Structure 1
């Protein structure tokens, strides 16, 4: 039986319910979102003379919840127009509509009695064979299954999303005791392929995998903090990006999630896991109880481990909680000698050996915290999972860790990890000792481009399932490397397709990266049949190396700068006019030059979470790598008979002039940065390189023909230039923009209008590139542009001067 999901029903419209509804809408599924009816009228409803029988009143709770979700930041939805895929209603009037859906998901309050009541109502209308799942994070399935029909139980599982559902990748699937295997398999596949998640099969144990281990890590850390006398700032310094964790690290993350949520989950584990050997770690410390009593829950109450205040001038100031006095104080900087030793180590995995060898308080902290974590995860197999990789997948996808516990242990060395654990008084699990005795000294290995994990039952390295849909660049880089320089590496993806992977800091684009682009095209044209430009770092590319531009401009080396910009432009034109198909695979930030690479590829295979934009205005220039030219060209291609062409061009002009950045790949279509009917979106970033390769193969095998140079770009000349300059003059006079903003905007107007031509004229791309380069160079002679670049280099933030 082929199961397809065209429509889902979400029962419960709270933060999670609305978020899940939005994410199903993101992927094109129709959603029926239901909640209870209000018990009484609001003051506004009373004033309008409404009654509890009016539909607008009966749907108030669900509509208010969805509206609040859609207004939240970051947005739960890829594009606001996707919200049209969600229909709202209430359980009393509209539950019968679930007979027409393919999947019913319960997302109501975490109370067994309420859930059982909802399931009883659902079963009256549910069509047999329909999927039925719960988003519970802790109630045992056997209790939720009680009293339900055989068909219900055969199709019932927990599908646990993490909040926010759009952004966090963990999707835990916990089948019920009577759930059919085909249902479990389908849910695992659907989470990965369609929802873009990391599907993790979990057992029906308290807090499943992600929260069981993640909350242990935090609770254990609470005890270490008090034992070592560490401050909030010190802990967040030690547990943030330096070890591959989010910038919010530990305490800021708790503030965002809510201390009450953490305490609820910790208590759930403590109360329901009597056999847990580290159960005492889940006992709530006194300082946390104090915070709970005083409503110091984090962002939701305005104060937690951090508290934001404003002075008389409205300037924000962040205060920090002193864990000894439990009073707020000014933030203090945190520095450790051990961390200084890792500054030159770019690969996070390579830092762990240095960190645990530290002679200061940081080294002691890492030895204590990692030893506790290793001791805990070794004993959770087979309790919460039969395979160790599922624990790592759960922490990486649910908590944003770059490396899971067993991966960190591997990075330190399994034997070294055992040594640290023993020094901290932890016993070693028999299976770990046996593994080392049998000369298995790693939890993971890479063989033939695939990740293998140590299987405790067979005592062998076993291929991790589900990799056939992915290309993992880390796994093939050494064996498939074709060419490399200081900024990039070229790999053979097989089937005649090369991949160009940027490896500069934040994947910035300088001379070495541009040389690699040209080399990749040379190699592909000679011995291969297609090229993918993609990587699996945090971001595709944050743009051109502005440090290099600043140095040239500051030294007034304008000839060298002109040559550098022309080299960038010529490289982009090679992307566009090569003899082989070029595919760009952007994800994360694809800004400035990173955006221009995608603009000039034959096709873009973008991750849904792609934040693309031409943001050069922020450093005082216009796009100089073909971006300004390309937006004028796309405007020209968009002109239709009867259009007010100036209005069309203005939209593309504003995309650059306002430095608009798409908040998803779908929004990039609206901005003209991606092209409908040509470019595609992949929801699961893990599949992106493989998908890009498929498109390259298809284009090559379909008989790709090298495009002809364009000389038919219609520019509007003085008609557009005059209108744009009048608009910028008005905006500057009204103080919406600065004088320098106006100067940059007028330079951009000149390029996109094609200069001051007396009438609309068809020109070549090279004509526009020459105008673009001239405008870029002239702006680099401006003192205020240099101030903007320098400010961006120092602070990472744009300067308005």
Structure 2
């Protein structure tokens, strides 16, 4: 049966309910968001003479929750205008409207009696065949099914989103005992394809997969921290980016999520998993109980493991909880010799062998930590999952781990992992022993560009399902490599399409990457049909290599710097005017030069989570790789008869001058960085390279014609320049910008106005590029610009001077 989702209802508008509603609105679905009717008036409502019968009062709860969600940061919605797709109501007046929806999602408080009450009401209005799911994380489905009709049970499952629903990719699907297979299959597919999630099929066990393993990991650390005499800062140093985990690591993550939330899940596992071999580990240590009593729950209460302190002089300081005294103290920098040994190893997956070999406290910590984790995950099969890859997928998508437990075990070596477990007195599961005895040395292997996993019942490597829509660059890099240097690699994606992947630090664009772009275009024009420029790192590119620019500027090598900027500009123009289609696939941070490259592509296939912008003002220069020229060109293309052209140009000028960064690909359309009708957005980042390849192939096969360089860019000359200079003068006089900010803005104004031409004139792109390069170079001679670049290189933060 074909099923499509055009409209959904979300029942319960709290943090999760509103977040889920916003994410469905993100993907174009109409949403009905419902909550209970308030039982009493607020002081404000009484003052206005409102009654409990007024609609504004009856919908107050749902509207307040949604408004709070839309104002929160990071935003739950790609673009504020998408909130128009959400309509609100209450469970007494509007529940009948669910008869018109395709999917009902229950997100009310975690109490069985309340959920059963809601389901009983839902059954009165729900159309047979409509999907009905719960976002519960702990109540067994069989209990929720009690008293429900056969049709309800056949279409009922748990769909467990992780908070915040827009950003965390885990989507656990837990079918009810009577749920139809086609419903489960549809939910799994919909999560991946439309919601952009990693759909993980889970069993109806306490905390499912993600929280069961994740909470075990945190509880394990809570007990180890005292045993090893580690501080909060030391644990966060050891469990953060060095092992491919988020910067918030462990304790800061607990502060963000809320200690009460963690305790609720841990208690649920402790009470409902009496036969878990690590049962006692879910018992809360005394310091956690004290924190709960003191209401030190984290960010929501202003203090947890960390506390922000402001002294009498207004100076801010982050204090840390001493777990021995339970008093706050100044933060201490954590340092370990073992971590120093990994500084030259770029990928976290390659660091684990070094980390477990450490001779200091860090080495001991990692040996104990991984031994405990390996022992725990091996025993969760088949209890929480029949397949080991689902556990890895859940941890990566729900907790932001770069590598799942079995992938880490693989990196260390299966036998080495067993050795660690035995050293800690942990038993090895029989299936692991049998696997080693059979000569299997890996949980995962790669064959013909696809990932295979060790299938325990089959006792053989089996192809991981669902990969056909993906291209995984890690899997094809070695076998499909066409060319490489130290900063870039070109792979053959098949069907006549090449891919260029940046591999420099933070994917910065320097000489090696520019060489790679030119080489990729050379190869594609000679022997292939098209080119994709994309990678699967955390960020597409943080921009040009400003370290290189700084060195040249400090050494006053202005001729070399001029040539370097010219090469950057020429490469961007080459991407635009090559004889083959060039498709750029940005995601994550796409700043400065990364943004300029995207703006010069034939087409952009952007991940929805793309944070893109021209941020050069932050380091004291203007966009010098064609970005300033391109914004002037796009303003010119936007001019319409009767427009106040100066106002149009000013919008584009301010986008650069305020170093605006889009917080989603959809916002980038509003800023003129992405273009309607040309560029596209994919919600699931895993599908991005495959989608970009498909677009490049389609453009090539549809008869791609090499575009002609533009000679018709309308610039406004003195008319625009005068307006900009008056504006920057007023802003500097009112101390809104510094004197150096004004200097940079005036240089940008000169470029975007096309110089001080006496009247509006049509100019070439080359003319604007020359102005841009001249302005960029002159700013590189300024001491304050060099101070800004140096500060950014040292701290990663912009300097206002």
- The 2-side partners of 1:657 and 1:361 are apart by 49
2:484 corresponding residue in structure 1:
484
Q: 2:12 matched to which residue of 1?
A: 12
- How big is each residue's C-alpha offset from its partner over 1:585-615, in whole Å with a ceiling of 9 and x where there is no partner? 0000000000000000000000000000000
Q: Secondary structure at the match of 1:428?
A: coil
Does the alignment pair 1:715 with 2:681?
no
Looking at structure 2, the residues matched to 455 and 274 of structure 1 have their Cα atoms a distance apart, in angstroms, of: 28
Displacement, 1:229? 1.1
Correspondence list, 1:142-161, <5 A: 142-161=142-161
Whole-angstrom distance in 2 between the partners of 1:467 and 1:130: 29
* Residue aligning to 1:519: 519
Is the aligned partner of 1:382 residue 2:382? yes
Q: Which residue of 1 aligns with 2:705?
A: 705
In structure 2, C-alpha distance between the alignment counterparts of 1:177 and 1:151, rounded to whole Å: 13
Counterpart-to-counterpart distance in 1, 2:662 and 2:255: 28
Where do residues 283-322 of structure 1 align in structure 2 (5 Å cutoff)?
283-322=283-322
Q: Establish whether residue 409 from structure 1 lines up as the match of residue 409 from structure 2.
A: yes
Matched, 1:775 2:764: no
Quote the RMSD (CA, aligned, Å): 0.4
Q: For residue 795 of structure 1, what is the aligned residue in structure 2?
A: 795
Asked if residue 175 in structure 1 is aligned to residue 175 in structure 2, the reply is yes
Q: How far 1:312 moved relative to its partner?
A: 1.6
1:498 and 2:474 are equivalent in the alignment? no
Q: Distance in 1 between the 2:434 and 2:359 partners? A: 31
3-state SS of 1:704 partner: coil
Deviation track 1:739-783 (CA, whole Å, cap 9, x = no partner) reads 100000000000000000011000000000000000000000001
Query: What's 1:325 paired with?
Result: 325
What is the CA–CA distance in structure 2 between the aligned matches of 1:2 and 1:642, rounded to whole Å? 49
- Give the 3-state SS of the residue equivalent to 2:94 in structure 1: helix
* Aligned match of 1:62: 62
**CA deviation digits over 1:77-106, x for unaligned, max 9?**
000000000000000000000000000000
Deviations 1:527-576 (A, max 9, x none): 00000000000000000000000000000000000000000000000000
Hey, what does 1:71 align to over in structure 2? 71
Structure 1 CA distance for aligned equivalents of residues 321 and 402 of structure 2: 28
Residue pairs, 1:245-644, within 5 angstroms:
245-644=245-644
- 1:316 CA displacement: 1.2
What residue in structure 1 maps to residue 695 of structure 2? 695
In the TM superposition, residue 330 of structure 1 has moved relative to its aligned partner by 0.7
- Secondary structure of the equivalent of 1:596? helix
TM-score normalised according to structure 1 size: 1.00
- How many Å apart are 1:314 and its aligned residue? 1.8
Per the alignment, residue 127 of structure 1 pairs with: 127
The residue matched to 1:467 in structure 2 has which SS?
Answer: coil
Q: SS at 1:308's partner residue?
A: strand
Partner of 1:742: 742
Residue pairs, 1:18-33, within 5 angstroms? 18-33=18-33
* 2:93 counterpart residue number: 93
C-alpha displacement at 1:313, in angstroms? 2.4
Corresponding position of 1:751: 751
Secondary structure of 2:686's counterpart equals helix
CA distance in 2, matches of 1:80, 1:115: 31
Partner of 1:197: 197
Structure 2 Cα separation of the partners of residues 662 and 228 of structure 1: 44
Any idea what the Cα deviations from partners look like across 1:185-229, whole Å, max 9, x if unmatched?
A: 000000000000000000000000000000000001111111111
Q: Distance in 2 between matches of 1:501 and 1:517?
A: 9
- The secondary structure found in structure 1 opposite 2:92 is helix
1:384 CA displacement: 0.2
Partners in 2 of 1:294 and 1:749 — Cα distance? 56
Q: Is structure 2 residue 660 aligned with structure 1 residue 657?
A: no
**Shift in Å, 1:667:** 0.2
What does the per-residue CA deviation read over 1:46-93, in whole Å, with 9 as the maximum and x for residues that have no partner? 000000000000000000000000010100000000000000000000
- 1:2 Cα shift? 1.1
Mark the runs of 5 or more structure 1 residues left unpaired by the alignment.
Answer: none
Give the structure 2 partner of residue 763 of structure 1.
763
Q: What's 2:208 paired with?
A: 208
Matches of 1:498 and 1:561 in 2, distance apart? 31
C-alpha offsets along residues 277-325 of structure 1, whole Å, 9 cap, x if unaligned? 1111100111100100110110111110001110122221110000000
Output the CA distance in 2 between the equivalents of 1:436 and 1:641: 75
Aligned length: 801
In structure 2, C-alpha distance between the alignment counterparts of 1:258 and 1:53, rounded to whole Å: 36
Q: What is the CA–CA distance in structure 1 between the aligned matches of 2:183 and 2:313, rounded to whole Å?
A: 59
SS in 2 for 1:479: helix
Query: 3-state DSSP class of the match of 1:69?
Result: helix
Distance in 1 separating the partners of 2:199 and 2:350? 27
2:729: which partner in 1?
A: 729
- Give the C-alpha shift of residue 26 in structure 1: 0.3
Deviations along 1:639-671, one digit per CA (max 9) or x if unpaired, are 111111110000000000000000000000000
Deviation at 1:275, TM superposition (A): 1.2
Displacement after TM superposition at 1:274 (Å)? 1.2
Tell me which residue corresponds to 1:138.
138
Q: Structure 2 length normalisation: TM-score?
A: 1.00
The CA deviation at 1:681 is 0.2
Q: Distance in 2 between matches of 1:512 and 1:367?
A: 39
Structure 2 unaligned regions, length at least 5: none
Rounded to whole Å, the distance in 2 between the matches of 1:134 and 1:481 is 46
Measure the CA separation in 2 of the matches of 1:776 and 1:290: 58
SS of match in other structure, 2:478: coil
Q: Secondary structure at the match of 1:98?
A: helix
CA distance in 1, matches of 2:441, 2:661: 46
SS at match of 1:384: coil
Deviation at 1:519, TM superposition (A): 0.1
Cα distance in 1 for partners of 2:298, 2:238 equals 20
